[in-house]
């Protein structure tokens, strides 16, 4: 079993988020707000189902899926696109491929040095975020 992604996490670094949002077509005014946010993640596992909540003072986004099972994703409040998404394990990395209008889109999560790492990628841009654990118990 790969290192557990479950728990509460708070962002400590965020590199190239603006360029990732630009390729998604996010407006300058929205990007200005978004780049200032301190994002948090809550990752829960219920059986073979994952629930990933991304929260902030501005907007929240939740995705629920089963590993290996394609699902319809609507990125409500983000770029508002409809995607066919598929999450799989590759070694200790949880990888999501998001098929839709934008090419080579998805994300990868893994644990390294007790930190939650996330790469958000789209059309050649990669945003790299690192989160520290803020769970009460882990």
Which positions touch ligand ECB (CB under 6 A)?
A: 21, 24, 26, 30, 34, 37, 39, 41, 52, 54, 56, 58-61, 63, 78-79, 107, 118, 120
Compute CA distances 125 → 5, 90, 91, 105, whole Å: 24, 21, 23, 9
Nearer to ligand ECB, 47 or 60 (CB): 60
Tokens of residue 21, six digits: 């949002």
48 vs 76: CA distance, rounded Å = 24
The least distance separating ligand ECB from the CB of residue 47, rounded to whole angstroms, comes to 19
The least distance separating ligand ECB from the CB of residue 1, rounded to whole angstroms, comes to 19
Nearer to ligand ECB, 61 or 111 (CB): 61
With CA atoms as reference, report the closest residue to 50 among 85, 15, 115, 6.
6
């Amino acid at each position: 079993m790969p290192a557990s992604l479950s728990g509460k996490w708070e962002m400590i670094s965020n590199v190239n988020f603006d360029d990732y949002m630009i390729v998604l077509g996010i407006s300058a005014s929205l990007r200005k707000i978004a780049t200032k946010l301190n994002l948090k993640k809550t990752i829960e596992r219920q059986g073979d189902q994952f629930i990933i909540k991304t929260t902030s003072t501005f907007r929240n986004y939740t995705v629920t899926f089963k590993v290996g099972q394609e699902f319809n994703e609507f990125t409500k409040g983000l770029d508002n696109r409809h995607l066919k998404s598929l999450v799989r394990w590759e070694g200790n990395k949880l990888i999501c491929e998001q098929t839709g209008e934008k090419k080579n889109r998805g994300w990868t999560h893994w644990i390294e040095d007790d930190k939650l790492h996330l790469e958000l990628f789209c059309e050649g841009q990669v945003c790299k975020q690192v989160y520290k654990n803020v769970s009460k118990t882990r």
